[in-house]
């Protein structure tokens, strides 16, 4: 199988605290302990860049190495490259990269590696290089077209949403016929090609996007957010993505109108139905988890992170429930919230997390305060339940 993964931005060099894209790359190798080689030609083999590569990948079950054309590891570059499982090309100047690769015969070597099943990947210039052509700032000043290796058909533009000049320049060049149509990607997006065909588009950020750009304009594509596959394992429980097989348990756990309000506010009505849960699960503006006991493997609870606001770097925790009565009052709820908080800070990269808790729920308030949430205001008569009204505490937690 022949594979190329092109990153519009992100990875260890741009977001070392968010390993989702690089972990995805490692998982695509068939090798149990993949040999991954960094090529930093585009940055002039910057020592700091190479050091960051080793610092990151030394944490994983792989064998990192690097290939410098300024200090080659061997006269036999072909044997060195073909011995790798993954080639990871860093960002920098695409023009300089292509010139040096041509001089050293590395383009033909990489094409041979690709044909033999070595996974090729890279970020920015290290993504452009795999295509026939792309748009680059290598020349200084304005963006200009640049030729790549041509392993992939069409053209590419990285940093499409982040650098203001990218979008208009890329679209103009395609309309004028200077560039072929192709794929653009924002930071945090990876384009995964298998046997020359685009098979998967994944991201390390919920807001990241990909774009198919032709002479007719652009088509936005929402990638699969890899954070949804994230499994957060705590001391006694594990958070996994909320799926259909958890529907019956939630419907069983929610036994009254009062309980559905206590759990979800106004999101659901009683009785809870499969139709409501299907709509809830389909809402991509939030990330919902089921909680499983590490001891028994059984589902014991539910929690969600919603109102994810990338501009203000905020999110809201809600739908907190330890549904199994036998598990309540034993600290599982606190551990579940702590794991959700870690996920929000580490992978959603938020600055603030909020939640709402009804005034009479003293046990939950104490739990949230132990985690670090602070009361920010009391909302009077926030919800009507039966013939009365409930007040709700608004609570917040800032990134430390």
Render pLDDT for 25-69 as a digit per residue (tens, 0 to 9).
998 998 989 999 999 999 999 999 999 999 999 988 899 999 999
List all residues 6 or more positions away from 172 whose beta carbon is below 8 Å from its beta carbon: none
pTM of the model: 0.64
Residue 104's CB is within 10 A of a number of other CB atoms, namely 15
Output DSSP code: residue 357. E
From the candidates 29, 155, 157, 159, which is the catalytic residue? Answer: 159
Closest listed residue to residue 215, CA positions, set 172, 153, 166, 154: 172
Residue with tokens 């060195």: 80
User: Which of the listed CATH numbers 3.40.50.2300, 3.40.50.880, 1.10.3720.10, 3.20.20.140 matches domain 3-227?
Assistant: 3.40.50.880
Q: How far apart are CA 361 and CA 248, in angstroms?
A: 25
Q: How far apart are CA 364 and CA 375, in angstroms?
A: 12
Backbone angles phi, psi at 310, to 5 degrees: -70, -35
Q: Are 321 and 302 in contact (CB under 8 A)?
A: yes
Say if residue 271 is preceded by a cis peptide, omega within 30 of 0: yes
What is the domain partition of the chain in residue ranges?
3-227, 230-398
Backbone angles phi, psi at 316, to 5 degrees: -130, 130
Superfamily of domain 230-398: Gcn5-related N-acetyltransferase (GNAT) (3.40.630.30)
Q: Is 302 a known active-site residue?
A: no
Render pLDDT for 149-196 as a digit per residue (tens, 0 to 9).
999 999 999 999 999 999 999 999 999 999 999 999 999 999 999 999
Query: 208 is written with which tokens?
Result: 């990241």
Q: Is 159 a known active-site residue?
A: yes
From the candidates 124, 155, 157, 204, which is the catalytic residue? Answer: 124
């Amino acid at each position: 199988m022949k594979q190329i993964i092109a990153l519009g931005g992100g990875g260890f060099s741009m977001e070392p605290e968010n390993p989702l894209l690089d972990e995805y790359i490692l998982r695509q190798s068939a090798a149990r302990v993949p040999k991954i080689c960094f090529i930093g030609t585009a940055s002039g083999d910057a020592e700091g860049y190479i050091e960051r590569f080793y610092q990151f990948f030394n944490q994983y079950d792989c064998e990192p190495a690097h290939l410098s054309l300024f200090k080659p590891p061997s006269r036999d570059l072909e044997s060195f490259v073909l011995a790798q499982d993954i080639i990871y090309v860093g960002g920098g100047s695409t023009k300089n990269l292509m010139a040096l690769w041509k001089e050293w015969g590395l383009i033909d070597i990489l094409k041979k590696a690709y044909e033999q099943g070595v996974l090729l990947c890279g970020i920015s210039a290290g993504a452009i290089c795999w295509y026939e052509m792309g748009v680059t700032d290598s020349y200084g000043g304005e963006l200009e077209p640049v030729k790549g290796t041509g392993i992939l058909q069409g053209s590419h533009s990285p940093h499409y949403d982040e650098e203001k000049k990218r979008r208009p320049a890329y679209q103009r060049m395609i309309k004028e016929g200077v560039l072929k149509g192709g794929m653009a990607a924002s930071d945090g997006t990876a384009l995964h090609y298998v046997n020359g065909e685009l098979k998967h588009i994944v991201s390390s950020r919920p807001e990241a996007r990909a774009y198919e750009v032709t002479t007719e304009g652009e088509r936005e594509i929402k990638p699969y957010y890899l954070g949804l596959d994230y499994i957060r394992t705590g001391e006694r429980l594990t958070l996994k993505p909320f799926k259909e097989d958890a529907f019956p348990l939630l419907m069983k756990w929610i036994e009254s109108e009062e309980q559905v309000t206590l759990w979800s506010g106004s999101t659901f009505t009683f009785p809870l139905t499969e139709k409501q849960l299907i709509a809830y699960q389909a809402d991509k503006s939030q990330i919902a988890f089921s909680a499983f006991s590490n001891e028994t493997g059984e589902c014991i609870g539910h929690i969600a992170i919603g109102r994810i606001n990338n501009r203000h770097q905020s999110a809201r925790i809600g739908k907190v429930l330890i549904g199994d009565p036998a598990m309540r009052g034993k600290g599982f709820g606190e551990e579940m919230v702590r794991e959700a908080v870690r996920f929000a800070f580490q992978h959603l990269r938020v600055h603030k997390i909020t939640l709402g808790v009804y005034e009479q729920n003293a046990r939950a308030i104490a739990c949230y305060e132990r985690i670090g949430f602070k009361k920010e205001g009391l909302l009077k008569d926030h919800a009507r339940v039966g013939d009365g009204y409930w007040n709700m505490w608004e609570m917040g937690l800032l990134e430390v």
